[in-house]
Structure 1
Amino acid sequence: MSTARTNARKAAVQALYQWQMTGQNLSLIEQQFVNDEWLKDAQKSYFSEIFHGVPEHLQVIDQALAEFVDRPVEAIDPVERAILRIGVYELMFRLNMPYRVVLNESINLAKCFGADGSHRYVNGILDKLAQRLRAIEIKAKSNT
Protein backbone atom coordinates (compact mmCIF):
# COMPACT_ATOMS: atom_id res chain seq x y z
CA MET A 1 0.00 0.00 0.00
CA SER A 2 1.11 3.48 -0.66
CA THR A 3 2.56 5.59 2.09
CA ALA A 4 0.14 8.36 1.11
CA ARG A 5 -2.82 6.09 1.82
CA THR A 6 -1.29 4.93 5.12
CA ASN A 7 -0.81 8.58 6.09
CA ALA A 8 -4.43 9.27 5.14
CA ARG A 9 -5.50 6.53 7.57
CA LYS A 10 -3.26 7.94 10.32
CA ALA A 11 -4.79 11.38 9.90
CA ALA A 12 -8.29 9.85 9.78
CA VAL A 13 -7.71 8.09 13.12
CA GLN A 14 -6.77 11.41 14.70
CA ALA A 15 -9.63 13.31 13.06
CA LEU A 16 -12.20 10.64 14.02
CA TYR A 17 -10.83 10.61 17.55
CA GLN A 18 -11.34 14.38 17.71
CA TRP A 19 -14.87 14.03 16.31
CA GLN A 20 -15.74 11.25 18.79
CA MET A 21 -14.44 13.29 21.74
CA THR A 22 -15.84 16.71 20.80
CA GLY A 23 -18.76 16.11 18.46
CA GLN A 24 -17.46 19.00 16.35
CA ASN A 25 -18.69 19.54 12.81
CA LEU A 26 -16.86 17.22 10.39
CA SER A 27 -16.11 20.02 7.94
CA LEU A 28 -14.52 22.14 10.67
CA ILE A 29 -12.28 19.28 11.76
CA GLU A 30 -11.36 18.46 8.16
CA GLN A 31 -10.52 22.11 7.47
CA GLN A 32 -8.30 22.16 10.56
CA PHE A 33 -6.39 19.13 9.27
CA VAL A 34 -5.97 20.76 5.87
CA ASN A 35 -4.90 24.12 7.32
CA ASP A 36 -2.43 22.60 9.80
CA GLU A 37 -0.82 20.53 7.01
CA TRP A 38 -1.60 17.20 8.69
CA LEU A 39 -2.41 15.92 5.21
CA LYS A 40 0.77 17.12 3.53
CA ASP A 41 2.03 13.56 2.85
CA ALA A 42 -1.39 11.91 2.77
CA GLN A 43 -3.79 10.96 0.02
CA LYS A 44 -6.31 13.71 0.76
CA SER A 45 -9.17 12.13 -1.15
CA TYR A 46 -8.83 8.89 0.83
CA PHE A 47 -8.65 10.78 4.13
CA SER A 48 -11.84 12.60 3.20
CA GLU A 49 -13.58 9.39 2.12
CA ILE A 50 -12.80 7.62 5.40
CA PHE A 51 -13.38 10.64 7.62
CA HIS A 52 -16.83 11.30 6.15
CA GLY A 53 -17.66 7.66 5.38
CA VAL A 54 -17.34 6.38 8.95
CA PRO A 55 -19.84 8.88 10.46
CA GLU A 56 -22.14 8.46 7.44
CA HIS A 57 -22.29 4.67 7.99
CA LEU A 58 -21.79 4.77 11.76
CA GLN A 59 -24.91 2.81 12.67
CA VAL A 60 -24.13 -0.17 10.42
CA ILE A 61 -20.42 -0.07 11.37
CA ASP A 62 -21.20 -0.05 15.10
CA GLN A 63 -23.80 -2.82 14.68
CA ALA A 64 -21.18 -5.00 12.99
CA LEU A 65 -18.67 -4.22 15.75
CA ALA A 66 -21.20 -4.89 18.52
CA GLU A 67 -21.41 -8.55 17.51
CA PHE A 68 -17.71 -9.11 18.19
CA VAL A 69 -16.73 -6.81 21.05
CA ASP A 70 -16.91 -7.63 24.74
CA ARG A 71 -18.50 -4.30 25.77
CA PRO A 72 -20.71 -1.57 24.31
CA VAL A 73 -19.00 0.07 21.32
CA GLU A 74 -19.07 3.45 23.08
CA ALA A 75 -17.12 1.92 26.00
CA ILE A 76 -14.18 0.90 23.78
CA ASP A 77 -11.10 3.07 24.18
CA PRO A 78 -11.67 6.06 21.83
CA VAL A 79 -8.45 5.48 19.88
CA GLU A 80 -9.21 1.79 19.38
CA ARG A 81 -12.81 2.67 18.52
CA ALA A 82 -11.64 5.05 15.75
CA ILE A 83 -9.25 2.40 14.38
CA LEU A 84 -11.90 -0.34 14.49
CA ARG A 85 -14.45 1.89 12.77
CA ILE A 86 -11.99 2.63 9.95
CA GLY A 87 -11.23 -1.09 9.60
CA VAL A 88 -14.91 -2.02 9.47
CA TYR A 89 -15.58 0.78 6.98
CA GLU A 90 -12.85 -0.55 4.70
CA LEU A 91 -14.02 -4.17 5.05
CA MET A 92 -17.61 -3.16 4.22
CA PHE A 93 -17.25 -0.40 1.64
CA ARG A 94 -13.81 -0.85 0.01
CA LEU A 95 -14.27 -4.33 -1.39
CA ASN A 96 -11.47 -3.74 -3.90
CA MET A 97 -9.02 -3.55 -1.00
CA PRO A 98 -7.82 -7.01 0.10
CA TYR A 99 -8.96 -7.88 3.62
CA ARG A 100 -5.37 -8.66 4.64
CA VAL A 101 -4.37 -5.10 3.76
CA VAL A 102 -7.23 -3.76 5.91
CA LEU A 103 -6.17 -5.95 8.85
CA ASN A 104 -2.47 -5.11 8.51
CA GLU A 105 -3.11 -1.38 8.24
CA SER A 106 -5.45 -1.49 11.25
CA ILE A 107 -2.92 -3.43 13.33
CA ASN A 108 -0.21 -0.91 12.42
CA LEU A 109 -2.51 1.99 13.37
CA ALA A 110 -3.13 0.33 16.74
CA LYS A 111 0.61 -0.14 17.26
CA CYS A 112 1.16 3.52 16.36
CA PHE A 113 -1.67 5.13 18.37
CA GLY A 114 -3.11 2.52 20.73
CA ALA A 115 -2.15 1.29 24.16
CA ASP A 116 0.23 -1.64 24.60
CA GLY A 117 -1.38 -4.77 23.22
CA SER A 118 -4.29 -2.94 21.58
CA HIS A 119 -3.14 -4.23 18.18
CA ARG A 120 -4.05 -7.77 19.33
CA TYR A 121 -7.53 -6.59 20.35
CA VAL A 122 -8.03 -4.79 17.02
CA ASN A 123 -6.73 -7.79 15.06
CA GLY A 124 -8.99 -10.24 16.90
CA ILE A 125 -12.15 -8.24 16.26
CA LEU A 126 -11.41 -7.32 12.64
CA ASP A 127 -10.31 -10.86 11.82
CA LYS A 128 -13.66 -12.22 13.05
CA LEU A 129 -15.51 -9.53 11.13
CA ALA A 130 -13.50 -10.27 7.98
CA GLN A 131 -14.48 -13.94 8.26
CA ARG A 132 -18.10 -12.83 7.96
CA LEU A 133 -17.84 -9.82 5.63
CA ARG A 134 -15.21 -11.22 3.28
CA ALA A 135 -15.90 -14.96 3.52
CA ILE A 136 -15.83 -15.47 -0.27
CA GLU A 137 -12.51 -13.62 -0.61
CA ILE A 138 -10.96 -15.56 2.28
CA LYS A 139 -12.20 -18.89 0.88
CA ALA A 140 -10.82 -18.04 -2.57
CA LYS A 141 -7.42 -17.17 -1.03
CA SER A 142 -7.27 -20.46 0.88
CA ASN A 143 -8.01 -22.43 -2.30
CA THR A 144 -5.06 -20.94 -4.20
Structure 2
Amino acid sequence: MTEPTQDGLPEDATPATPRKRPGLTASGARKASAKSTRSRAREFALQALYQHLVGRNTAEDIDVFTRDLAGFHKADSAHYDALLHGCVAEAAELDALILPLLDRKMEEISPIEHGIMWIGAYEFRHCMDVPWRVVINECIELAKEFGGTDGHKYVNGVLGGLAPQLRAAEVEADKAAGKAR
Protein backbone atom coordinates (compact mmCIF):
# COMPACT_ATOMS: atom_id res chain seq x y z
CA MET A 1 0.00 0.00 0.00
CA THR A 2 1.29 3.45 -0.89
CA GLU A 3 1.68 6.17 1.67
CA PRO A 4 -0.79 9.09 1.53
CA THR A 5 0.48 12.42 0.29
CA GLN A 6 -0.14 15.78 1.99
CA ASP A 7 -3.65 15.97 0.52
CA GLY A 8 -4.50 12.58 2.04
CA LEU A 9 -4.65 10.72 -1.28
CA PRO A 10 -2.42 7.78 -2.11
CA GLU A 11 0.51 8.79 -4.29
CA ASP A 12 -0.83 6.92 -7.32
CA ALA A 13 -4.40 8.22 -6.95
CA THR A 14 -5.72 10.85 -9.28
CA PRO A 15 -8.15 13.35 -7.81
CA ALA A 16 -11.58 13.48 -9.37
CA THR A 17 -11.95 16.31 -11.83
CA PRO A 18 -15.14 18.31 -11.89
CA ARG A 19 -17.45 17.45 -14.78
CA LYS A 20 -17.45 19.98 -17.55
CA ARG A 21 -20.36 20.58 -19.86
CA PRO A 22 -19.37 19.76 -23.42
CA GLY A 23 -18.86 22.73 -25.71
CA LEU A 24 -18.03 25.14 -22.87
CA THR A 25 -14.76 26.65 -21.69
CA ALA A 26 -13.76 26.73 -18.02
CA SER A 27 -15.40 30.18 -17.70
CA GLY A 28 -18.71 28.84 -19.00
CA ALA A 29 -18.47 30.47 -22.43
CA ARG A 30 -19.01 28.44 -25.59
CA LYS A 31 -15.95 26.91 -27.23
CA ALA A 32 -15.05 28.24 -30.65
CA SER A 33 -15.96 24.94 -32.32
CA ALA A 34 -19.50 25.21 -30.95
CA LYS A 35 -20.14 28.73 -32.28
CA SER A 36 -22.37 29.59 -35.20
CA THR A 37 -21.28 31.93 -37.97
CA ARG A 38 -23.52 34.64 -36.47
CA SER A 39 -21.98 34.19 -33.03
CA ARG A 40 -18.56 34.63 -34.60
CA ALA A 41 -19.82 37.72 -36.45
CA ARG A 42 -20.93 39.20 -33.12
CA GLU A 43 -17.48 38.53 -31.64
CA PHE A 44 -15.71 40.30 -34.49
CA ALA A 45 -18.25 43.14 -34.39
CA LEU A 46 -17.64 43.54 -30.66
CA GLN A 47 -13.88 43.74 -31.20
CA ALA A 48 -14.47 46.31 -33.93
CA LEU A 49 -16.87 48.35 -31.78
CA TYR A 50 -14.31 48.32 -28.97
CA GLN A 51 -11.79 49.85 -31.38
CA HIS A 52 -14.35 52.47 -32.30
CA LEU A 53 -15.28 53.29 -28.69
CA VAL A 54 -11.73 53.33 -27.30
CA GLY A 55 -9.60 54.33 -30.26
CA ARG A 56 -12.18 56.48 -32.05
CA ASN A 57 -11.22 54.75 -35.29
CA THR A 58 -13.62 54.96 -38.21
CA ALA A 59 -15.79 51.99 -39.07
CA GLU A 60 -14.13 51.75 -42.48
CA ASP A 61 -10.59 51.55 -41.04
CA ILE A 62 -11.68 49.06 -38.40
CA ASP A 63 -13.45 46.95 -41.03
CA VAL A 64 -10.31 46.63 -43.17
CA PHE A 65 -8.29 45.57 -40.11
CA THR A 66 -10.90 43.13 -38.77
CA ARG A 67 -11.41 41.26 -42.03
CA ASP A 68 -7.71 40.29 -41.93
CA LEU A 69 -7.97 38.69 -38.49
CA ALA A 70 -7.60 34.94 -38.13
CA GLY A 71 -10.93 33.14 -38.22
CA PHE A 72 -12.93 35.94 -39.85
CA HIS A 73 -13.71 33.66 -42.79
CA LYS A 74 -15.79 31.53 -40.37
CA ALA A 75 -18.04 34.49 -39.48
CA ASP A 76 -21.24 35.65 -41.16
CA SER A 77 -19.72 38.69 -42.86
CA ALA A 78 -23.11 40.22 -43.77
CA HIS A 79 -24.20 40.13 -40.11
CA TYR A 80 -20.83 41.53 -39.04
CA ASP A 81 -21.23 44.39 -41.56
CA ALA A 82 -24.73 45.17 -40.32
CA LEU A 83 -23.62 45.21 -36.68
CA LEU A 84 -20.45 47.24 -37.11
CA HIS A 85 -21.73 49.84 -39.55
CA GLY A 86 -25.24 49.92 -38.07
CA CYS A 87 -24.09 50.40 -34.47
CA VAL A 88 -21.61 53.12 -35.42
CA ALA A 89 -24.18 54.93 -37.59
CA GLU A 90 -26.89 54.67 -34.92
CA ALA A 91 -24.66 55.15 -31.86
CA ALA A 92 -26.59 58.16 -30.52
CA GLU A 93 -29.97 56.45 -30.95
CA LEU A 94 -28.73 53.23 -29.35
CA ASP A 95 -27.27 55.17 -26.42
CA ALA A 96 -30.57 57.02 -26.01
CA LEU A 97 -32.36 53.66 -25.69
CA ILE A 98 -29.81 52.20 -23.27
CA LEU A 99 -29.15 55.21 -21.03
CA PRO A 100 -32.50 55.24 -19.13
CA LEU A 101 -31.85 51.63 -18.08
CA LEU A 102 -28.41 52.31 -16.59
CA ASP A 103 -27.71 52.92 -12.92
CA ARG A 104 -24.64 55.02 -13.74
CA LYS A 105 -23.32 57.39 -16.37
CA MET A 106 -22.50 55.94 -19.79
CA GLU A 107 -18.86 57.02 -19.30
CA GLU A 108 -18.65 54.62 -16.34
CA ILE A 109 -19.70 51.62 -18.43
CA SER A 110 -16.91 49.40 -19.71
CA PRO A 111 -16.41 49.78 -23.49
CA ILE A 112 -16.92 46.02 -23.79
CA GLU A 113 -20.32 46.08 -22.09
CA HIS A 114 -21.19 49.28 -23.99
CA GLY A 115 -20.45 47.57 -27.31
CA ILE A 116 -22.40 44.48 -26.29
CA MET A 117 -25.43 46.58 -25.36
CA TRP A 118 -25.17 48.35 -28.75
CA ILE A 119 -25.20 44.96 -30.47
CA GLY A 120 -28.23 43.84 -28.45
CA ALA A 121 -30.18 47.05 -29.02
CA TYR A 122 -29.30 47.03 -32.73
CA GLU A 123 -30.42 43.42 -33.15
CA PHE A 124 -33.66 44.13 -31.27
CA ARG A 125 -34.37 46.95 -33.72
CA HIS A 126 -33.19 45.49 -37.01
CA CYS A 127 -32.75 41.71 -36.86
CA MET A 128 -36.30 40.46 -36.54
CA ASP A 129 -35.21 36.99 -37.66
CA VAL A 130 -33.30 36.65 -34.37
CA PRO A 131 -35.68 35.95 -31.45
CA TRP A 132 -35.38 38.40 -28.57
CA ARG A 133 -34.27 35.67 -26.15
CA VAL A 134 -31.50 34.66 -28.55
CA VAL A 135 -30.32 38.28 -28.76
CA ILE A 136 -30.06 38.44 -24.96
CA ASN A 137 -28.38 35.01 -24.68
CA GLU A 138 -25.83 35.85 -27.36
CA CYS A 139 -25.00 39.14 -25.64
CA ILE A 140 -24.64 37.38 -22.29
CA GLU A 141 -22.21 34.93 -23.93
CA LEU A 142 -20.18 37.84 -25.31
CA ALA A 143 -20.07 39.46 -21.87
CA LYS A 144 -18.98 36.20 -20.23
CA GLU A 145 -16.19 35.74 -22.73
CA PHE A 146 -14.94 39.32 -23.12
CA GLY A 147 -16.41 41.40 -20.30
CA GLY A 148 -15.73 41.89 -16.61
CA THR A 149 -16.54 39.36 -13.92
CA ASP A 150 -20.21 40.25 -13.51
CA GLY A 151 -20.62 42.18 -16.76
CA HIS A 152 -22.95 39.52 -18.14
CA LYS A 153 -25.40 40.19 -15.29
CA TYR A 154 -25.43 43.90 -16.08
CA VAL A 155 -25.90 43.29 -19.81
CA ASN A 156 -28.71 40.85 -19.04
CA GLY A 157 -30.49 43.41 -16.85
CA VAL A 158 -30.24 46.23 -19.37
CA LEU A 159 -31.24 44.17 -22.41
CA GLY A 160 -33.97 42.46 -20.39
CA GLY A 161 -35.41 45.91 -19.75
CA LEU A 162 -35.01 46.96 -23.37
CA ALA A 163 -36.65 43.90 -24.94
CA PRO A 164 -40.23 44.81 -23.89
CA GLN A 165 -39.77 48.26 -25.44
CA LEU A 166 -38.36 47.12 -28.78
CA ARG A 167 -39.95 43.67 -29.13
CA ALA A 168 -43.18 44.16 -27.18
CA ALA A 169 -45.35 41.77 -29.22
CA GLU A 170 -42.73 39.02 -29.18
CA VAL A 171 -42.09 39.37 -25.42
CA GLU A 172 -45.84 39.37 -24.68
CA ALA A 173 -46.40 36.31 -26.88
CA ASP A 174 -43.66 34.46 -24.98
CA LYS A 175 -45.20 35.45 -21.64
CA ALA A 176 -48.64 34.29 -22.79
CA ALA A 177 -47.23 30.99 -24.04
CA GLY A 178 -45.47 30.51 -20.70
CA LYS A 179 -48.71 30.98 -18.77
CA ALA A 180 -50.54 28.46 -21.01
CA ARG A 181 -48.11 25.64 -20.12
Fold match, TM over 0.5?
yes
The aligned runs of 1:36-115 (5 Å cut-off) are: 36-115=69-148
Partner of 1:35: 68
- For 2:57, give the aligned amino acid: Q
TM-score normalised over the length of structure 1: 0.94
Distance 1:7 1:108 in 2: 11
Distance 1:78 1:72 in 2: 12
- For 1:44, give the aligned amino acid: S
Runs of 4+ in 1 over 3 A off after TM superposition: none
Distance 2:52 2:64 in 1: 13
Partner of 2:167: 134
Once the two structures are TM-superposed, the CA of residue 33 in structure 1 deviates from its matched residue by 1.1
Distance 2:106 2:121 in 1: 13
Once the two structures are TM-superposed, the CA of residue 24 in structure 1 deviates from its matched residue by 1.1
- Structure 1, unaligned runs of 5 or more: none
1:120 to 153, 157, 166: 153
- For 1:106, give the aligned amino acid: C
The DSSP-based 3-state class of the residue aligned with 1:143 is: helix
- Structure 2, unaligned runs of 5 or more: 1-34
Once the two structures are TM-superposed, the CA of residue 37 in structure 1 deviates from its matched residue by 3.3
Percent identity over paired residues: 35
Once the two structures are TM-superposed, the CA of residue 104 in structure 1 deviates from its matched residue by 0.3
Distance 1:54 1:4 in 2: 19
Once the two structures are TM-superposed, the CA of residue 27 in structure 1 deviates from its matched residue by 1.0
Larger proportion of helix: 1
Once the two structures are TM-superposed, the CA of residue 34 in structure 1 deviates from its matched residue by 1.2
- For 2:162, give the aligned amino acid: L
- For 2:124, give the aligned amino acid: L
Partner of 2:56: 23
| RMSD (Å), alpha carbons | 1.5
Once the two structures are TM-superposed, the CA of residue 38 in structure 1 deviates from its matched residue by 4.5
- For 2:142, give the aligned amino acid: L
Distance 1:33 1:55 in 2: 15
Partner of 2:32: none
Larger CA Rg, structure 1 vs 2: 2
Distance 1:100 1:137 in 2: 10
- For 1:21, give the aligned amino acid: V
Once the two structures are TM-superposed, the CA of residue 52 in structure 1 deviates from its matched residue by 0.2
Residues 15 and 51 of structure 1 are in contact (CA less than 8 Å); yes or no, is this contact kept in structure 2? yes
TM-score normalised over the length of structure 2: 0.76
